Structure 1
């Protein structure tokens, strides 16, 4: 091998990469700690980028519509579009709060009278159960409880809990202040991003072009555009699907004259933003509220829920959300499961479009390599393999 300048640079790069990899492998705990500290420091800016991305979805449409009224190069076009987007998102949140809050207050007031009746019925049922099965009482009397030890343990828990409760109160107050300051900084940062997004994109492209090969830059830009488009389509489709599902539940519950129709409809619409499993949270809350009033209402609501869930899962979701991300349903389930186990609710929302991007890149790479090798997988081959299996 000839030791020219390019070969020497490649060897140096390989040696440097090996040294860095070994150092990181030996001190991986410290490296992870530094990464966590860096993410914590950058949290306001990460939040600001996320807010800007969400606000940019309606802002693009509003800006496109206003371009027919205002001139495309007008300085007012971007600020007006951004202000209308913020007002739209904030208006939806406030509208939901003002609609749900009175209904929630009425529900809680109604539960004050319903819960004693419910527990009274449970008590009567238990008394009847014990009267018909006296063996249960005999077995319960044989259970030995050390009341003195139980009292001492409770007193010890209260003594230790008093100090921890004070510490928890201070920690909660500090967390609230930090959260508000993080949100405020992130919101201001998102405004700067939205007002200067074209300049930021151009600066990032220039930075990449200055240090990376042209082919690598083109690949990064293509992946970034695909990621932005996929995430935007997913969040838009998820919001539309949540509104449709919440409206369906509200209309059906009103027609069947079941209680808490508005509250449950809005609750299911919000929880449906969590893919696949979110609506079941609304079902659990709604079934519990109806169970206190009437077990038959809770049973009817459960039947309605699973019926509408099947309609939504088989007819609405694939067309509204599935087509927007281009991810098969089996991988949607895998993405939701992995995202939920790693990052909770946020992971469920992020992993579906993220897996869609990876799926699209892998599919394009596989097709390109097959085309380069002049290979193809024909539908007849798939049918024959399925028949053999």
Structure 2
């Protein structure tokens, strides 16, 4: 085989190779830019602070936006214009939030304050119940009595240790206060962002499509519609599921006589938004409070938690959210562990919907391979010669 030598500077790239080279250079430039920004603190840190400040209000506003979309659609079906439907839904949300806070916050706050005030009595009850448990033959046979003896519920020692802990963690306390301040700012900014989302949110898809070539706009419209449906299904379904679990938990704990049923049930509903792990974390406060009453109440609290989860897993969740996301339990656990280690609580909450969005996008590309987005990767065909005859290609083949 003879090799033809080409002089330097005369190497010609095919159209496909040139496009791949162009894409590679672009990706490398973006990677280098990100790397340089991370090394220059006075450039990267202000950007990080800016985006982290806006992230919270936008997440809250986005969550509320998707919660209100079904209501807006319902009002539009009732022959109401979109603008009037958005304003009506926004006003209804404000009334529900303000009314709910006016009713629930005093009761929940009162129960929390009551818990703090009765903490010494609760500690005494817990100490007595622990001693009763340690004195049983079964506890002695399995070594539980030695474990119970290590716990000291003495009120004076508890107060002393708590004071020492607070004194040694002044920085952490200031961080908590700062976090509470940021949370309040986010709560007040979220309605403003929500208003503009409801006003201009439906125009976002059209604005994105304008940046795409006309031939690819149908695929982009389909892609955005499916992503929007996935996010809407997740957030509205999770909120409905959380509300049902909170109501069932409050009713169940109230029936079995667990103290502070409203606060514990509300906590169980909020924690239920974290898949698989959240329901069991939500049952921990119920068990701890029930320990101050009796071991029978602990048993009933566990029964209520398990019963609510069975109802949720077998009836509520499948019908509210269904199999739209179609994510296996193993994948959910991996996502929770990975996102939680990287982004903390925010990663645990948003890891599943983010994965669902990515999965929806990839599914769209797989189901519609001829979407035109990767045409630049293909070899461009050579221009056909000008044919002045009136014969069609089929006629030429026949000849």
Superposition TM-score, scaled by structure 2 size? 0.67
Tell me whether 226-235 or 52-61 shows the greater mean CA deviation: 52-61
Partner residue of 1:196? 200
Q: How many residues align?
A: 336
Partner of 2:298, secondary structure, is helix
Structure 2 regions of 5+ residues with no counterpart?
1-9, 141-163, 370-399
Q: How far has the Cα of 1:98 moved from its partner? A: 3.1
What is the distance in 1 between the residues matched to 2:76 and 2:311?
39
Whether the 8 Å CA contact 2:209–2:220 is kept in 1: the answer is: no
**1:238 to 2:238 alignment:** yes
What is the distance in 1 between the residues matched to 2:59 and 2:340?
19
Q: How far has the Cα of 1:72 moved from its partner? A: 1.8
Q: How far has the Cα of 1:286 moved from its partner? A: 0.9
Whether the 8 Å CA contact 1:246–1:269 is kept in 2: the answer is: yes
Q: How far has the Cα of 1:305 moved from its partner? A: 2.2
Q: 2:52 aligns with which of 24, 43, 50?
A: 43
1:1-389 equivalences under 5 Å are 10=19, 13-14=22-23, 16-17=25-26, 20=29, 23-24=32-33, 27=36, 29-30=38-39, 37-67=46-76, 71-72=80-81, 76-120=84-128, 122=130, 165=170, 177=181, 180-181=184-185, 183-206=187-210, 208-209=211-212, 213-215=213-215, 217-366=217-366
Q: How far has the Cα of 1:77 moved from its partner? A: 4.0
Q: How far has the Cα of 1:358 moved from its partner? A: 3.0
Q: How far has the Cα of 1:100 moved from its partner? A: 2.1
Whether the 8 Å CA contact 1:336–1:348 is kept in 2: the answer is: yes
What is the distance in 2 between the residues matched to 1:272 and 1:250?
14
Higher-helix-fraction structure: 1
Whether the 8 Å CA contact 2:61–2:194 is kept in 1: the answer is: yes
Q: How far has the Cα of 1:316 moved from its partner? A: 3.0
Whether the 8 Å CA contact 2:72–2:85 is kept in 1: the answer is: yes
Whether the 8 Å CA contact 2:75–2:85 is kept in 1: the answer is: yes
What is the distance in 2 between the residues matched to 1:328 and 1:128?
44
What is the distance in 2 between the residues matched to 1:104 and 1:327?
37
Partner residue of 1:152? none
What is the distance in 1 between the residues matched to 2:13 and 2:21?
12
What is the distance in 1 between the residues matched to 2:363 and 2:109?
47
**Over aligned residues, Cα RMSD in angstroms?**
4.2
What is the distance in 2 between the residues matched to 1:168 and 1:14?
46
Tell me whether 351-360 or 173-182 shows the greater mean CA deviation: 173-182
Structure 1 regions of 5+ residues with no counterpart?
133-157, 370-389
Whether the 8 Å CA contact 2:258–2:297 is kept in 1: the answer is: yes
Kindly tell me: are residues 288 and 171 of structure 1, through their superposed partners in 2, closer, same or farther at Cα, counting changes over 3 Å?
closer
Partner residue of 2:384? none
Q: How far has the Cα of 1:109 moved from its partner? A: 4.1
Superposition TM-score, scaled by structure 1 size? 0.68
Q: How far has the Cα of 1:247 moved from its partner? A: 2.8
Partner of 1:276, secondary structure, is coil
What is the distance in 1 between the residues matched to 2:241 and 2:178?
37
Q: How far has the Cα of 1:93 moved from its partner? A: 4.3
